[in-house]
């Protein structure tokens, strides 16, 4: 995705160019810096987002793909305003300098050294330099009074429309394919609109994801590519992943490593990819959700959907952006999200089957073994969990773990694996006391 940066003062082109240099991986096709209304704005962009660069002359720096996927900075008569989409698919941060100046950027690394008080622009919010205003939020909808057949057909239509809109944006498009229901659904539906369609999978030798992805690719007649990883590949990638991800959250990094490697492979063949992110949150794909009282399940799904912005969606954004490509999140199209929120809970988990309504919608579009595949966590399906946790266990002593696990801001690291990641994080970014901008997976301790 594109990278944007700037400051609410003019005459700062050199500063903004330095900021853009730190996130230049998000571009690759072009870089533009300009001034408008006492503001200096800049953008680095991939080819498929070249239209965004033309808006800079109007005082708009935008990382915008499609409706529902945008981070925008506008130099207006009243000053600089930042705005982020309702789910936080596109990242956006800002930092105050205490003298009326504030900087913004798509990644935190562009702000470090310029300001200390770094924050995320909250999803679905605007920031004008002094206050945050919410303009959009995900909330409960009145459920459909339709039967399962009608709802499943409507869902399939919404997904097809979402994919078609993104295909029409142009550029060569493929898909990250884990062989799970969500990425397989995106791939199968996208193939209908793309003749020369490439799919990409990653995992260690013998990983379930590789097997299932091959099955889907054959079924839909895609040109399939695999990245088969070994121990050295995984360990070598960790520092790079942490640099791009700007996080040391163990579960997030573990799932990002293979995503990062498959993003590298896909960038050799396509300019953008479909990703299956969001399906588990919208359609109740996680095993633990089966144990939640049905009266509270809708609330839980909304909660985990709201948490995507600085965990799973950050993984997708940073993996794609590390190689100057774009990731399309078809499930999180605003029309799909609104439709999914209206689907009765009884059709999301039915007869103890998670994502039942999505499976019904995709009948005939996928192999039966994939259509009925149980949910596997990203790192489990790719086969990386034990490799990395065993490495961390050998690398870090019990004494080191007890001494280093409590951070200055009060956070407590949960495992030796997380301490390993934090050490790399500290090498890249220093020992930061304010980490309020960094997300942690639900269940991890927070300040």
Confidence of residue 35 (pLDDT cuts 50, 70, 90): very high
54 is a domain residue: yes
186 and 107 in a common domain: no
Is the alpha carbon torsion for 30, 34, 36, 41 positive or negative? positive
pLDDT of residue 386: 80
302 and 213 in a common domain: yes
445 is a domain residue: no
Confidence of residue 128 (pLDDT cuts 50, 70, 90): very high
217 and 243 in a common domain: yes
pLDDT of 395-409, one tens digit each? 999 999 999 999 999
Q: Is pTM, for the whole model, over 0.85?
A: yes
The structure tokens listed for 55 are 């808006």
130 and 156 in a common domain: no
* Predicted confidence (pLDDT) at residue 446 exceeds the cutoff of 60: no
pLDDT of 347-359, one tens digit each? 999 999 999 999 9
401 is a domain residue: no
Q: Classify 366 as helix, strand or coil.
A: coil
pLDDT of 39-90, one tens digit each? 999 999 999 999 999 999 999 999 999 889 999 999 998 899 999 999 999 9
pLDDT of residue 197: 98
100 vs 437, more confident: 437
Helix, strand, coil tally for the chain in percent (to 5): 45, 20, 35
> Could you give the C-alpha distances from 118 to 125, 202, 260, 366, 434, in angstroms and in order?
16, 34, 25, 45, 8
* Predicted confidence (pLDDT) at residue 442 exceeds the cutoff of 50: yes
435 is a domain residue: no
280 is a domain residue: yes
Q: Which of 134, 158, 173 is the endpoint of a domain? A: 134
Residue recorded with tokens 């919608």 = 361
Confidence of residue 137 (pLDDT cuts 50, 70, 90): confident
pLDDT of residue 184: 98
The mean pLDDT of the chain is 94
The 3-class secondary structure across 95-137, one letter per residue, is EECCCCCEEEECCHHHCCCCCCEEEECCCCEEECCCCEEECCC
pLDDT of residue 447: 31
Q: Which of 134, 161, 177 is the endpoint of a domain? A: 134
Mean pLDDT of 8-27: 97
357 and 314 in a common domain: yes
Q: Which of 387, 403, 427 is the endpoint of a domain? A: 387
266 and 352 in a common domain: yes
pLDDT of 227-239, one tens digit each? 999 999 999 999 9
Number of domains in the chain: 2
* Predicted confidence (pLDDT) at residue 3 exceeds the cutoff of 70: yes
pLDDT of residue 384: 74
Strands ordered across the beta sheet of 30-36? 30-36, 39-45, 3-7, 102-105, 93-96, 117-120
**How many Cα atoms are found within 13 Å in the side-chain-facing hemisphere of 332?**
31
pLDDT of 215-228, one tens digit each? 999 999 999 999 99
Confidence of residue 445 (pLDDT cuts 50, 70, 90): very low
200 vs 140, more confident: 200
Q: Which domain holds residue 345?
A: 148-387
265 is a domain residue: yes
Mean pLDDT of 365-385: 76
240 is a domain residue: yes
Cα end-to-end distance, the chain, whole Å? 30
pLDDT of residue 253: 93
58 and 174 in a common domain: no
157 and 234 in a common domain: yes
**Interatomic CA distance for residues 230 and 205, integer angstroms:** 7
Cβ neighbours of residue 182 closer than 8 Å, sequence gap 6 or more: 276, 277, 278, 279, 280, 285, 331, 358
Residue 374's CATH number: 3.40.50.620
Q: Could you tell me what percent of the chain has a pLDDT over 70?
A: 97
For 81, list phi and psi in degrees, rounded to 5.
Answer: -125, 135
Residue 31's CATH number: 3.60.20.10
447 vs 309, more confident: 309
319 and 220 in a common domain: yes
The DSSP symbol for 354 reads T
* Predicted confidence (pLDDT) at residue 92 exceeds the cutoff of 90: yes
160 and 16 in a common domain: no
159 and 127 in a common domain: no
159 is a domain residue: yes
307 and 192 in a common domain: yes
């Amino acid at each position: 995705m594109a990278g944007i940066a700037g400051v609410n003062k003019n005459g700062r082109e050199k500063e903004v160019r330095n900021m853009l240099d730190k996130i230049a991986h998000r571009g690759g096709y072009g870089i533009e810096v300009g001034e408008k209304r006492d503001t200096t704005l800049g953008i680095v962009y991939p080819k498929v987002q070249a239209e965004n660069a033309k808006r800079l002359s109007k005082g708009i720096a935008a990382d915008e793909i499609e409706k529902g996927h945008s981070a925008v900075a506008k130099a207006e008569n009243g000053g600089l305003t930042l705005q982020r989409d309702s789910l936080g698919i596109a990242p956006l941060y800002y930092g105050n300098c205490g003298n009326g100046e504030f900087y913004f950027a798509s990644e935190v690394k562009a702000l470090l050294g310029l300001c200390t008080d770094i924050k995320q622009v909250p999803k679905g919010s605007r920031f004008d330099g002094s206050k945050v205003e919410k303009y959009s939020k995900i909330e409960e909808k009145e459920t459909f009074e339709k039967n399962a057949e009608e709802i499943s057909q409507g869902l399939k239509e919404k997904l097809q429309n979402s994919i078609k809109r993104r295909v029409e944006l142009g550029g060569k498009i493929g898909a990250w394919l884990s062989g799970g229901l969500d990425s397989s659904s995106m791939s199968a539906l996208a193939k209908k609109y793309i003749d020369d369609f490439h799919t990409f999978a990653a995992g260690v030798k013998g990983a379930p994801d590789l097997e299932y992805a091959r099955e889907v690719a054959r079924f839909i007649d895609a040109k399939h590519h695999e990245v088969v990883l070994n121990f050295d590949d995984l360990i070598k990638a960790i520092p790079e992943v942490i640099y791009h991800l700007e996080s040391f959250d163990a579960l997030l990094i573990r799932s990002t490593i293979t995503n990062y490697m498959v993003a590298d492979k896909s960038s050799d063949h396509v300019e953008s990819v479909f990703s299956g992110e969001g399906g588990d949150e919208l359609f109740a794909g996680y095993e633990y959700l089966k144990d939640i009282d049905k009266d509270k399940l809708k609330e839980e799904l909304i909660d985990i959907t709201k948490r995507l912005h600085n965990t799973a969606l950050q993984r997708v954004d940073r993996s794609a952006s590390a190689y100057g490509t774009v990731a399309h999140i078809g499930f999180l199209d605003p029309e799909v999200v609104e439709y999914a929120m209206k689907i009765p809970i009884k059709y999301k988990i039915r007869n103890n089957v998670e994502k039942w309504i999505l499976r019904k919608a995709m009948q005939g579009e996928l192999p039966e073994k994939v259509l009925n595949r149980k949910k596997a966590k990203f790192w489990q399906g790719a086969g990386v969990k034990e490799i990395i946790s065993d490495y961390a266990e050998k690398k870090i002593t019990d004494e080191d773990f007890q001494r280093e696990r409590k951070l200055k801001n009060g956070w407590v690291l949960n495992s030796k694996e997380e301490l390993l990641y934090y050490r790399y994080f500290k090498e890249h970014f220093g020992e930061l006391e304010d980490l309020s901008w960094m997300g942690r997976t639900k269940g991890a301790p927070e300040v």
